Structure 1
Amino acid sequence: MIDDFAKEYLHHQLRMVWQALVWKLDGLSEYDIRRPLTATGTNLLGLVKHRAHSDARYFGEVFGRPFPGPVLRWNDVGAWENEHWAAEFEKRADILGLYRAVCEHSDATIGALPIDAPGHVPWWPSPDVKLFNIMIHSLNDTTRHAGHADILREQLDGRTGTTAEYEHPIDAAAREAYRWKIEQAAKAADPARARSSH
């Protein structure tokens, strides 16, 4: 009973965060979804591409259910370097289509297997796992990257939230006043800064 509840709950959470990650690209230009927005090159389309390749592995080959589409295998040369960004010839629609197909394949794997189904992750130090482990891992990793995407999107145009239905109109003046209040508290809490400002 608890296994069914846990599996259903985790699956629901995964579906929500899958959708939230894709929504972060909504309405942005090709340049904005692709450009590096951090010193390490993090970009919105690259986050989606990475999660597509990652979940294709985790809900595919780990359980002997290989994803049928073209994805980099975990030990392919250049897999890590090339799945975090999109080359100019890679189309947004193709990467989003791949991600949706991987999510459908992941749904099918989750639906077909019990939560304690055994799997094997050859790139992990303790490679023998259960579906439960992989669902938790994917939920954690996707949520982490959706958080990255949330901050990147806010820096681009101020939009925040997980879906359009939870988005609030942007009140620039209220945001700036709130940010100023936090800045003042940060300055006041730092004795070295307070001494240097006198």
Structure 2
Amino acid sequence: MNTMKTDLHHYLRDVREAMVWKLDGLSEHDIRRPLTPTGTNLLGLVKHLAGVELLYFGLVFGRPFAEHVPWLRQDAEPNTDMFATAEESRSDIVGLYQRAWAHADTTIEELPLDTVGHVEWWPGNKTTLHRVLVHVIAEANRHVGHADIVRELVDGAVGLNQGNDFMPAVDKAWWADYHAAVTKVSDGFAQQ
């Protein structure tokens, strides 16, 4: 058994679950609501990561996904993978993401880490499954970080998953004091 591959795959699985958890308990409005000037929203992040896995663990290694995914066309409108249309339901997007996991997992399990793939949008375009795994884990974690912030803005929920927030065990009053202290320091630089 390849311990490195097993470790990498474990981290990829964890970040996938964290991303989907960010939708739990929220309304359709809240999972679609853009909370940054660039439109970042929770369901869009899930949709984007589904495409990432399909491209990197499918197309790159000559293992195409059986389903048609319109936003992965080369002529697709920019950022169509970053939001769910009115016709795309939460279950559609999450279901696609989970099917993308299964497709990716087959690639990861069947190919050695030194398998060469071709990323046509990278300079030089040759890479290995090892590098793709590291790249996708990094990208997924980056987007889960975005989701952490968006989810906190929606309802205050933070952390890796329900019951495991990795935050200090303090009450709301402590957080209010902490926020005030951070604000006081930043306000001291406002006129500089």
TM-score tier (shorter): over 0.9
Aligned to 1:21: 19
Give the aligned length. Answer: 190
Distance 1:192 1:181 in 2: 18
Distance 2:49 2:37 in 1: 20
Q: C-alpha offsets along residues 160-196 of structure 1, whole Å, 9 cap, x if unaligned? A: 01111304788332211111111122234x2835xxx
Aligned to 1:166: 164
Q: TM-score, normalized by length of structure 2?
A: 0.92
| Offset of residue 5 of structure 1 | 1.9
Correspondences of 1:42-53 after superposition (within 5 Å): 42-53=40-51
Worse overlay, 163-172 or 47-56: 163-172
Distance 1:191 1:34 in 2: 33
Whether the aligned pair in 1 keeps the contact of 2:71 and 2:81 (CA below 8 Å) is no
Among residues 31, 34, 48, which one is paired with 1:33 in the alignment? 31
Whether the aligned pair in 2 keeps the contact of 1:50 and 1:83 (CA below 8 Å) is yes
Q: Which has the larger radius of gyration?
A: 1
Distance 2:38 2:58 in 1: 29
Whether the aligned pair in 1 keeps the contact of 2:46 and 2:94 (CA below 8 Å) is yes
| Offset of residue 76 of structure 1 | 2.4
Whether the aligned pair in 2 keeps the contact of 1:57 and 1:73 (CA below 8 Å) is no
Counterpart code for 2:111: L
Counterpart code for 2:43: L
Counterpart code for 1:182: V
Aligned to 1:187: 187
1:107 corresponds to 2:121? no
Cα pair distance change 1:65/1:78, threshold 3 Å: same
> Sequence identity of aligned pairs in percent?
45
Contiguous gaps of at least 5 residues in structure 1:
194-198
Cα pair distance change 1:104/1:170, threshold 3 Å: farther
Q: C-alpha offsets along residues 77-104 of structure 1, whole Å, 9 cap, x if unaligned? A: 1254211101111111010000000011
Whether the aligned pair in 1 keeps the contact of 2:31 and 2:42 (CA below 8 Å) is yes
Cα pair distance change 1:170/1:103, threshold 3 Å: farther
Runs of 4+ in 1 over 6 A off after TM superposition: none
Among residues 125, 128, 150, which one is paired with 2:126 in the alignment? 128
Aligned to 1:150: 148
Distance 2:177 2:60 in 1: 49
Q: TM-score, normalized by length of structure 1?
A: 0.89
Distance 2:108 2:120 in 1: 20
Partner secondary structure for residue 134 of structure 1: helix
Aligned to 1:54: 52
Counterpart code for 2:58: G
Counterpart code for 2:59: E
